Structure 1
């Protein structure tokens, strides 16, 4: 692990200092959801209180998974999914297992930090069963909505090879696994996004991100599992039915 990426966090190994606690033992609040479901709104609501946000999933992934496996920085989202899948083949709990092996300096992160976030059934189930003090805020949105949000957010991290987008309809139809995520009508709606000022390359790139993510993580299965937990441990929100202000209010009231 490259600890330079993770201020105030280190791998478990040496005995903890008096001001250190294993994340496995802290009452961690964890955001659950795939890209584009609105986790930033929930995170802002949690940080408006006394909770402090740990380095996010991307930073922990770089330090714990990507750099040890690839030996370099990796920006392409599909390659990152491949590398994190390789990590999960040896660590079934994925990010949840990686977090549980970290020790936090409570002078930096406090006694009840927030983490953004976990994805999929394997990570959520591992976390809930292994770390009984952890609590979960799950957010969901349809995949078509997620594509639209990715197109609108302009995150430079949302990089993926989008060659072949000159015929967007054909490129989407030939995308591996796309029929498992989008209906024929939804694909037509995605093609129509080009009339709203989005380039075919950008649309194809964002659809690739959503399809790749769904191939590796199942948000519906994760949500179904979280519904089996007591309400004080899991809050589940639909970020289409609720606007950002309502999401934030629900999180603050639950927290």
Structure 2
């Protein structure tokens, strides 16, 4: 049965009806990229194209990964990362595996829906190997830019537990586990300087999201996997060099 979280989609193993198909067999266009690279902005720029956009990653993760493990809704980003990592222990394709297994009512979704989005090498590799009809759009932006975008978008979903101290933000940033693998000392100084326009708690929370996500997903590795596929199956776009309108035009030209 379709779930309220996933309209016109179902996860049960019953064979597809004549008007249904598994998403793994349809010609999906899949956006690839981590939080803050501009996937939602790209979709918004294409809003007039009458796209059939599938429920986003959060909703599919809630219905397929998180609720079965936690038994309840989870909003904390780091806890969600932990739970989705547990899911990947038995489903190595992660979100790609979950998405491809869903059965879609093609009367609603058509044959060429769009999904936002996959992250990291493991998900992309699984999708490339198992779903040959899928095409990929990889959107990229530097981690420092991603933090700035998270601070600017005021998304209630961008939350982590724990408050930052109102003093010595630089020391709090330096103490984050794994931060040195993502940001240089000069970049941490720049991030600490953002406290002039944002509270230290906001800055620390957004940096924690980016660092936590990078522990799970490597965007550079995902792009390296897609690049050899060629333009017929993969499009790679830099959302710093390109404006949202230019990203939308590139997508139209490519499609």
Given the two structures, how large is their TM-score scaled by the length of structure 1? 0.96
Q: CA contact under 8 A between 1:45 and 1:251: conserved in structure 2?
A: no
Q: CA contact under 8 A between 1:12 and 1:101: conserved in structure 2?
A: no
In 2, Cα distance between the equivalents of 1:23 and 1:87?
A: 20
In 2, Cα distance between the equivalents of 1:202 and 1:155?
A: 12
In 2, Cα distance between the equivalents of 1:120 and 1:27?
A: 21
In 1, Cα distance between the equivalents of 2:201 and 2:98?
A: 34
Q: Name the counterpart of 2:188.
A: 187
- 1:229/1:46 CA distance change after superposition, 3 Å: farther
In 2, Cα distance between the equivalents of 1:105 and 1:19?
A: 6
Q: Deviations over 1:156-191 (max 9, x none)?
A: 000102434332111100000000000000000000
Q: Name the counterpart of 1:80.
A: 80
Q: Name the counterpart of 2:199.
A: 199
Q: How well do the aligned residues superpose, as a CA RMSD in angstroms?
A: 1.3
Aligned-pair CA distance for 1:62: 0.3
Q: CA contact under 8 A between 1:139 and 1:236: conserved in structure 2?
A: yes
Q: Name the counterpart of 1:11.
A: 11
Q: CA contact under 8 A between 2:138 and 2:237: conserved in structure 1?
A: yes
Q: Unaligned regions of 5+ residues in structure 2, if any?
A: none
Q: Deviations over 1:44-64 (max 9, x none)?
A: 345432430000000000000
Q: Which runs of 4+ in 1 moved over 6 A?
A: none
Q: Name the counterpart of 1:29.
A: 29
Secondary structure at the residue paired with 1:51? coil
Aligned-pair CA distance for 1:41: 2.5
Secondary structure at the residue paired with 2:75? coil
Q: Unaligned regions of 5+ residues in structure 1, if any?
A: none
Secondary structure at the residue paired with 2:237? strand
Aligned residues: 254
Pairing 1:221–2:221 present: yes
Given the two structures, how large is their TM-score scaled by the length of structure 2? 0.96
